[in-house]
Amino acid sequence: MSASKPHILVVDDEPNVLVTYRLILQQQGYEVSAAISSEEARNCLQKGGVDLLLCDLSLEKQQSGFDVIHFGRSLEPKLQAVLLTGYASAEANDRAEHESIPVLFKPIDIQQLLQTIADLLRKNNESRQAHGT
Protein backbone atom coordinates (compact mmCIF):
# COMPACT_ATOMS: atom_id res chain seq x y z
CA MET A 1 0.00 0.00 0.00
CA SER A 2 1.49 3.26 -1.12
CA ALA A 3 1.35 6.00 1.43
CA SER A 4 1.18 8.76 -1.17
CA LYS A 5 -1.76 7.53 -3.22
CA PRO A 6 -5.11 6.60 -1.67
CA HIS A 7 -6.52 3.40 -3.08
CA ILE A 8 -10.06 3.51 -4.34
CA LEU A 9 -12.10 0.50 -5.44
CA VAL A 10 -14.85 1.25 -7.94
CA VAL A 11 -17.59 -1.34 -8.44
CA ASP A 12 -20.15 -1.04 -11.26
CA ASP A 13 -21.71 -3.61 -13.57
CA GLU A 14 -21.68 -1.19 -16.49
CA PRO A 15 -18.24 -1.50 -18.15
CA ASN A 16 -18.21 1.97 -19.67
CA VAL A 17 -19.28 3.62 -16.48
CA LEU A 18 -16.66 1.63 -14.63
CA VAL A 19 -13.93 2.64 -17.10
CA THR A 20 -14.79 6.32 -17.05
CA TYR A 21 -14.87 6.45 -13.26
CA ARG A 22 -11.51 4.74 -13.15
CA LEU A 23 -10.07 7.22 -15.63
CA ILE A 24 -11.49 10.23 -13.81
CA LEU A 25 -10.22 9.04 -10.45
CA GLN A 26 -6.80 8.17 -11.90
CA GLN A 27 -6.73 11.61 -13.47
CA GLN A 28 -7.30 13.02 -10.00
CA GLY A 29 -4.24 11.10 -8.86
CA TYR A 30 -5.82 8.21 -7.01
CA GLU A 31 -4.81 4.61 -7.27
CA VAL A 32 -7.87 2.95 -8.68
CA SER A 33 -9.04 -0.63 -8.85
CA ALA A 34 -12.14 -1.47 -10.87
CA ALA A 35 -14.48 -4.39 -10.39
CA ILE A 36 -17.26 -5.29 -12.85
CA SER A 37 -18.97 -7.66 -10.41
CA SER A 38 -19.36 -8.32 -6.72
CA GLU A 39 -17.13 -11.32 -7.04
CA GLU A 40 -14.28 -9.30 -8.51
CA ALA A 41 -14.87 -6.70 -5.84
CA ARG A 42 -14.61 -9.30 -3.08
CA ASN A 43 -11.36 -10.61 -4.55
CA CYS A 44 -9.99 -7.16 -4.69
CA LEU A 45 -11.10 -6.37 -1.12
CA GLN A 46 -9.54 -9.57 0.13
CA LYS A 47 -6.22 -8.43 -1.29
CA GLY A 48 -6.53 -5.52 1.11
CA GLY A 49 -5.24 -1.96 0.98
CA VAL A 50 -8.49 -0.36 -0.20
CA ASP A 51 -9.03 3.08 1.32
CA LEU A 52 -12.42 3.83 -0.19
CA LEU A 53 -15.12 1.81 -1.79
CA LEU A 54 -17.35 3.37 -4.51
CA CYS A 55 -20.08 0.90 -5.18
CA ASP A 56 -23.11 0.83 -7.41
CA LEU A 57 -26.24 -0.21 -5.52
CA SER A 58 -27.68 -2.60 -8.00
CA LEU A 59 -25.19 -5.24 -9.14
CA GLU A 60 -25.61 -8.44 -11.03
CA LYS A 61 -27.67 -11.40 -9.83
CA GLN A 62 -29.46 -10.09 -6.78
CA GLN A 63 -26.22 -8.75 -5.40
CA SER A 64 -26.45 -5.26 -3.98
CA GLY A 65 -23.86 -2.64 -3.12
CA PHE A 66 -24.71 -3.19 0.54
CA ASP A 67 -23.46 -6.80 0.32
CA VAL A 68 -20.13 -5.66 -1.11
CA ILE A 69 -19.78 -2.92 1.51
CA HIS A 70 -20.64 -5.37 4.30
CA PHE A 71 -18.07 -7.75 2.98
CA GLY A 72 -15.47 -4.98 2.90
CA ARG A 73 -16.36 -3.85 6.38
CA SER A 74 -16.20 -7.39 7.67
CA LEU A 75 -12.51 -7.28 6.64
CA GLU A 76 -11.82 -3.71 7.57
CA PRO A 77 -14.55 -2.29 9.90
CA LYS A 78 -13.57 1.31 9.33
CA LEU A 79 -13.72 1.05 5.57
CA GLN A 80 -15.21 4.23 4.04
CA ALA A 81 -17.80 3.60 1.30
CA VAL A 82 -20.00 5.62 -1.05
CA LEU A 83 -23.12 4.15 -2.58
CA LEU A 84 -23.86 5.17 -6.16
CA THR A 85 -27.31 4.60 -7.52
CA GLY A 86 -29.59 5.48 -10.39
CA TYR A 87 -32.61 4.64 -8.32
CA ALA A 88 -32.93 4.27 -4.59
CA SER A 89 -35.97 3.14 -2.75
CA ALA A 90 -36.79 4.88 0.51
CA GLU A 91 -35.79 1.71 2.40
CA ALA A 92 -32.39 1.70 0.73
CA ASN A 93 -32.01 5.37 1.53
CA ASP A 94 -32.91 4.84 5.18
CA ARG A 95 -30.60 1.86 5.42
CA ALA A 96 -27.69 3.81 3.93
CA GLU A 97 -28.31 6.63 6.32
CA HIS A 98 -28.49 4.20 9.23
CA GLU A 99 -25.16 2.62 8.24
CA SER A 100 -23.63 6.08 7.60
CA ILE A 101 -22.98 5.43 3.96
CA PRO A 102 -23.31 8.52 1.74
CA VAL A 103 -25.53 7.99 -1.28
CA LEU A 104 -24.97 9.72 -4.64
CA PHE A 105 -27.68 9.63 -7.24
CA LYS A 106 -26.84 9.13 -10.87
CA PRO A 107 -26.37 11.13 -12.99
CA ILE A 108 -23.72 12.14 -10.55
CA ASP A 109 -22.31 15.60 -10.47
CA ILE A 110 -18.55 14.88 -10.79
CA GLN A 111 -17.48 17.81 -8.68
CA GLN A 112 -19.77 16.60 -5.93
CA LEU A 113 -18.36 13.09 -6.24
CA LEU A 114 -14.78 14.32 -6.01
CA GLN A 115 -15.68 16.51 -3.06
CA THR A 116 -17.31 13.59 -1.23
CA ILE A 117 -14.30 11.36 -1.91
CA ALA A 118 -11.89 14.01 -0.71
CA ASP A 119 -13.92 14.56 2.46
CA LEU A 120 -14.10 10.85 3.27
CA LEU A 121 -10.41 10.28 2.66
CA ARG A 122 -9.48 13.22 4.85
CA LYS A 123 -11.76 11.81 7.59
CA ASN A 124 -10.04 8.44 7.11
CA ASN A 125 -6.64 10.06 7.41
CA GLU A 126 -7.56 12.01 10.50
CA SER A 127 -8.92 9.00 12.32
CA ARG A 128 -5.92 6.95 11.31
CA GLN A 129 -3.54 9.62 12.56
CA ALA A 130 -5.48 9.88 15.81
CA HIS A 131 -5.39 6.11 16.05
CA GLY A 132 -1.70 5.90 15.16
CA THR A 133 -0.51 8.48 17.67
Partner 1 sequence: MASPQMRMRSEAQQPAERERKAGLRLLGAERSEEIFPLLLEEIISLGHRAGFVARVDFETSAITPVASLNCTRGFLQKQHTTLFAMENPMVRILHTLKPEVIPDKPKPGANSLYVHPLVYRNRNNCWEAERANASTCLAVANFHCKQRLNLPDQICATCDMRAYAAVVCVELKPAAKASDISQLGALIELANRYLSRIFKVEHYYNRMTDMETTIGQMRTVLESMADPVILTDGQHRVITQNKAAERFFKLPDEVSEGRVRAVELNNLLFSAALSSMAVAGVDSSRDMTLVDAIEGEEVLFEAVSAPSFGADGRRTGMVTVMRDVTELRRADEELRQNYELLTAAEEVVRQDRDRLNLIIENVGDPIVVCDKDAKIVLVDPLAQELFGEERSERRAVHMRNQAKLDAYIAAFTYSFSDRESAPLHLFSPGTEAEVEYDARSGKIYDERGMVAYTVTVLRDLSAVRRLEQLKMERRMLEMEKFAVAGRMAGTIAHEVNNPMEAIKNCIFLLQDSIQEQAQPVYQILKTETERVARIVRQMLGLYRNTEQVGNVDINTVVEDTLMLFARQLDRSGVRVEKELDDLPPVVGSADQIRQILSNLVVNAKDSMAQGGRLRIRTRIAKSGLRDMIAITIGDSGCGIPPSMVNTMFEPFVTTKGERGTGLGLWIVKGIIENHGGKLKVRSKVDHGTVFRMEFPLVQ
- The binding site for partner 1 (CB under 8 A) comprises 14, 16-17, 19-21, 23-24, 27, 86-90, 105-108, 110
- Of 71 and 105, CB closest to partner 1: 105
Q: Which 3-state string (H, E, C) describes 41-64?
A: HHHHHHHCCCCEEEEECECCCCCE
CB of 32 to partner 1, least distance (A): 13
- Of 104 and 121, CB closest to partner 1: 104
CB of 84 to partner 1, least distance (A): 9
CB of 61 to partner 1, least distance (A): 17
Query: DSSP H helical segments within 1-133, as ranges?
Result: 15-27, 38-47, 65-75, 90-98, 110-132
- 126: helix, coil or strand? helix
